[in-house]
Structure 1
Amino acid sequence: MKFGFDIDDTLIDLRAHAFRLYNKKLSKNVALETFQALKRVEIHEPFGLTDAEGSAMWNNSLEEIYFTDCPSFGGALETLQALAQQGHDIYYITSRPKQYCEQTRAWMEAQGFPITEGHFFCGMQDIEKVAIIKELALDVYVDDKPAVLETLQDVKTKVILKNQSYNQHVELPRLKHWQVFLELVNN
């Protein structure tokens, strides 16, 4: 089978990692429960930042956010390693900026994620993600972003939504724990 995966907030817990970094950088102690209740992707509001200030802080912190000790979600790495060992094709499709593609790929490989040449797509806007998912004729695609998944309703690809506080309004098969991924695929 051909499996496709978004990276940030699907395989790795990037926003929570960034939230912890913001606490440190801003000398704050905003509780993780506050983060878990956010209804939007952006994480700056609990720190008292405006949208413009939040955008600037995110953009100025990208390398630290992307390439420090961001953890993968429990079971994600093991699931992808098992899929690779079983001979499945694994594709990564991320909207991370193009200038971080090689560094992102190297970071993912260093974490142990199985990456095959030609199976790593980076710097993709939502419409480009949808196009590559269709072109690859993926059997399964997992992402946290409803805008991508909702546009795939007319294809044979089984779409699975990685559960996040900001996507609760969406009615799609929902991955809450990586340990049950194969159950979702087979249902």
Structure 2
Amino acid sequence: MTTIGEALITLLEAHGVDTVFGIPGVHTVELYRGLARSKIRHVTPRHEQGAGFMADGYARASGKPGIAFVITGPGLTNTITAMGQARADSVPILVISGVNATPTLGKGLGHLHELPDQRGMMEKVALFSHRVTEAGELPGVLARAFALFSSSRPGPVHIEIPTDVMSLPASGIVPLLRNSAPPEPDVAAIAEAARL
């Protein structure tokens, strides 16, 4: 059985991802299970903030989106500075985080690394933040992220997957690939600027 976490790795490969940065944890086990069987290279920093800045640096140096895998709560909050930098400088990075099981969210039960509303926090810095609730959402949410990465103003995107959802079956998921070329310059605006 292929899980949602494992299917996500296959979809990232289909989008051309060859490197991810992150620290394995209990909230991201299924991502790493899929990563072990893929050709994607994993780089482990000492700290999640390092994962965020490595993803930013990778994107700047390679011209491809940088990807970071982090756990919920403090793991995710440690990436906020890197995401803010990516937002300010229009750098395409994708931060994929775990989050506690769906039935516990927002209840303040004191689960490991629980925050009241981590997605709400990410919406302030990311171009968009999405919580995956079923396997069928994966192709569309990744297509949206990668379309934004090749837009005129790319930036950080956040996807969170609850631990109970990450381990659900996800057979038959196929990528939704869009031919998204970078935007072309406005020739008239360039000509006008040259006349100045």
TM-score band by shorter chain is 0.3 to 0.5
Query: Which has the larger Rg?
Result: 2
Larger RCO (CA within 8 A; separation ≥ 6)? 1
Normalized per residue, which structure has more helix? 1
Structure 1 length-normalised TM: 0.42
Structure 2 length-normalised TM: 0.40
